[in-house]
Every structure is written in C-alpha cells, then in structure tokens.
Structure 1
Amino acid sequence: MDLRAQNNPENFRSSSSPFAEKITVWLPTPESEALMGGLPEGFRADVWTGEAELPASADTVEVIVPPYGIGPDLLSRFAELPRLRLVQLESAGVEWIRPYVPEGVVLCNAKGAYDRAVTEWVTGVVLAHLLRLPRFEQARREQRWDYTHTDTLEGKRVLLVGYGSLGSALAPVLTGFGAEVTAVARRPRPGVHGVDELPGLLPEADIVVLLLPLTEATTGLVDAAFLSRMRDGTLLVNAGRGRLVDTDALVAELCAGRLYAALDVTAPEPLPTGHPLWSAPGLILTPHTAGSNTSPPAKAMALAKAQLARYAAGEPLANVIGEAGY
C-alpha cells in the first residue's frame, strides 16, 4: 500500500466545499483538541461524540477519531462519508470497529498509549494475588486476624503471551521485581518464542499474562486444553480481550481450586447478573479498567496529533492495522 500517495489530501479534497481550505477531522470530545495541545496547522475540527445526527461536515470530513464503543448502527454510517480516508482510534483494540471501516479507508490504533497503565494494572493484580490481599480484605470484613505467609514475585516464571508494545513495556518491570520473563508472539524472533511453542512453555510458568489482540486466530486460544497444561496454582492474567478465553473452561478450573485468575476483560462483557464469574473462587476481577487511569487519554490524543501531521504531509502513517487485525 502506497500510503504516501493514498493519504495525500490533495488527491480527494473538494475545492467547492466550504471547508476546502483546511482538512476536517472529527474529534470524540470537546476536550480532545486541548488534550492534543491544539490541532496541527491546516486542520479544522468538529466534535462527534457518537450522536445519530452527524456533523454538518459529513461530506468533507477526511479523518475521524471516533468515540470508543459506539454501536454497529453508527459505525455503519462511515460508508456515507465520501471523503473519509483515515480512522485513527483512541484505543489499542480494533475488533469493535474494524468490520465497519470502508474499503480504501486506513485504520490506525493508539498503540503505545496504554502501555504504562496496563503495566501498572498487571503488576498490581499480580502483587495483590501473591501478597494475599483479597484474602486479607475478606478477613477484615469478617473481623478475623487471618495471619499467613505471603508469596513473592522474585523468582517467579512469568509467561507473556503477546509481546508487542504492551509486553515490551511490562517485561522490564517484572524483571525489576526479580521475575523470570518468557515472551511469546505470533512469530518467533530472537529472544521471543512463537505461539506454536506454548504447549511446552505453559507447564513451566507460575504466571501467564495474556496481552494479545482479538483476532480470528486468537479467539478462544485459552481453551480447556490450554488451561490443562498450566500447573496447579498458576495465575492466569487477562489484560487483552475477554474472548481470548473460554469462560466456561476457566470457571471450571477456578471452581476446582486448581488455578487462579485476574481478569480485566470477560466474555460476555459486561458480566450479567448471576454469571458464575461473580462468585468464582480465586479470582480478582476489574471492569475493563486496566487502561482507564488519567494518563492514556492525553497520550492517545498526542498520538492522534502526530498522525494528523503525517497525514497532511502525505507521509506514511503509524500503527496501521493490516489484514491480520493488528
């Protein structure tokens, strides 16, 4: 794909448009422009927070930074935008929007914006598990002095399943605590194992961390067979997507007391009332908040600003999502 030629605004800007002098971008919130420190030169912005009524610049908008999580009925309206050429996400995950991006429109994610936030979440839940914090919190609620020895991250063997931007940020933090980190990615490379090596790696791990994107190949990767290869007492941490994991198979292992888990994402999501994960033992559960601290929004908009500048200059774009879905 020749991104320099495809993304040259002069190839498709209408000189008869009232917005022809500048490139129109839709931003997801009124605060977005301030978060990015102002628009690059040559741009004008409208705000589209996901309302059914599209902004008046629908005929000329070329770039959209869409609000996260809007539904299929609104996403399908992207096909109505004749000048749309780039969809730049605030999120790292793309599975929710990818099927609705029209042919010829480039989709880019916010890779890197969530690295530190997710690193903090993973480190936090791993330490909470090892330090028995859920047990002690329950004892506090019951007014019991429940003394017991705790565990340490030092010397633990951590298997990172998914070694892109997130895994590369997390690994040195874990090794800083004295953990031994083994990395797994779709394809092997120096120092990184291929996903086909998982059957031999899983039995050696104390902690398995999922950082994979959701694609056709990764959906249901963590099934009953995958879980059965994990040693008794292993902690499964999912900071990727809920559908990476066969939920019924995981619930069975948790209820048997053989494995532990820390989940920021689930399938289904959000969890309905009465779902067995609510009461499953050995589980730390958070409502998809790993990337929701105060840092990522500004980082995502800074990435978007840099992307807009590349787009206006006709330069190759960053974080382009390919056929594989990442």
Structure 2
Amino acid sequence: MPLSPTASGGLRGAAAMTMLGCSTGVSAAFAGYPLLGGQALRYLLAAGLLVPLALRAAPGALRPTVREWGRLALLAATGLVGFNVLLVQALRHSGPAAVGSVVGAAPLLMAVLGPLLAGRRPGRRAVVAAGVVAAGAATAQGFGAGDAVGTVLALGTLGCEVGFSLLAVPLLPRLGPVGVSAWVTVLAVPMFAGAAALLDGRAALRVPDGSELAALLYLAVLMTCVAFLLWYRALELLGPERAGLFAGLVPITAALSGAALGEGVPRAGELSGAVLVGVGVFLGLRGRRPEPAGRSVPPSVGTGRTGDDGHAAVGAAAAGEPVAR
C-alpha cells in the first residue's frame, strides 16, 4: 500500500535530520581541514553527482531561469556559505548549547514565516507544535552561556538555516528536489572557493589524510546529495511548517548516536527533550496540511538517491561538535 503524503514526507524529513544529527563524529574528523577549501571540495564532489542526475531527470526542459538563478544564488550564499561560516564563528564566542538553543528555534520561525510568505496566516496548531519542538531541542542541548557577539552570530546562523528551506519552496514546483539540490551545490562551489582563495590563500587546500578523505566523501555523498534530496522532497510533501518540525531531531539523534558509540548515557535533559520533540511532531502532523508547497514530482525526480546536510541543520549538536551543512 502506498504511503500517504504525510507519512512519506515525514519519513524523508526524519531521515534527513537523523543523518545530520548522527554526523557529529564525521564533522569532528573533518574539523582539522581548512573550512572554506574543504567545503568547496565537498560541494564540488556533490555537484558532480547531482548535476548529471538533474539533467537526466529533466533533459533540456527544466533549467533555471535568470530569476531562478538569482534565488538559487541567494539560497547558496545564505543556506550553505553563510550558515557554515556563521556557525563556526558563533561557536568561537559561545558554547554549542547556547548556539544550538538559538538555532533550534528554526521550526518556530518556519511555522510563522512559511505561511506568511505564501500569503496566508500561520496556523495555530502548527505554531504551537513548532514551539514545543523548539523547546524540546533547547532542553536536549541545555541552554548554555555565551556573549553578545555569539548571540548575534547565532541569530544570523538561524536566519541562514531557515533560508535554506524557505528560499527553496518557490523553486520546488518547477525544478523539483533534484534540480534545486544540483544547482545550489554548483553555485556554492565558486562562493566557497573564492572566499578560500581570498582569506586563506595557499593554505585553503591540502591533501587530506585518510580519515579526512573518508569524512569528505561522507559529507559530499550522504550529507549533501542524499539528505538534500530527502529534505527538499519532504518540503514538497509537507510544506515548510510541518517539515520544519523534524529539525528538532538533530540534537536528539546526535545525543543518541553518541551514546551508541560509547560516549556516555544520554542525560535526563536529552531524554526530556526527545519526549517534547516527539510530542511536537505528533501535534504538528495530526493537522490537515493547509496548502501544497509545490507540485508532486515523479519518484525518479523526487527521491533519487545517488548520493546532503539536509544539508537542513538545527545548529550545534548536543555532543559539542558543530554540525556543518
């Protein structure tokens, strides 16, 4: 029996955010590599996988228009480049818990801004559910302490995180998840590469060691290709209000994956936060979806798994490592 749109979108959103939360160990293995150059390599590898898939899915038809290229460029500059740079800078001023608590408000912001940008009023159930999820994410991470600069940078990271989803919504009906994922990764490459050349010069790139190479391949294939496709398809099926609820899973799955790897039993706050996130997701998915976010695309377009960090991240993981998109 085929899954309902809600069930299908929920599974995709949950999978994308679970992959992101479980990637903290991989992000740590790649943390010693130059940030900007490493991200340029990551998105170059991802684009090499996604572009042929996009061209095959819609041969010669659904190429971005000039206006769509502009929106894609803004999406890449905020949701990919801005998110990664601001997150790292925020973590230099504030602890992961403080940054994560701010960025963890993404579900609530999406529940409010998503409908407003679509010309309708936010639904009360969606806003309440998103508030419960955001509270659960903050509880799981702990609120932590940080300075004023760190808070401002965390707020910027939050804006970029929300932009990663909301800027994509108008593009999905025509380009589909594969098209949006492919073209935004293409645009991210020169942005990261240009910034790396300007700021780091020759130090922007070096030959990665074995663990760094494995982490790079994981981030490019799974956390960029697969998770982007899963997340953007979830956005199509659920809309931003309900898809955004799954961002609350990131600190939960980060804590659980750490426990599975022998890093300690989950804290009481993490377990309490998991319960709150689950309650919020349940409340949010029970309501009838107010309006389609975009057309339904064929399975070969919407669910292609050639290769992510949906790339949609909530922020710093509870394990204390930044989750880079």
Whether TM-score is above 0.5 comes out as no
Q: TM-score, normalised by structure 1?
A: 0.23
Larger proportion of helix: 2
Larger CA Rg, structure 1 vs 2: 1
Higher relative contact order (CA 8 A, sep 6+): 2
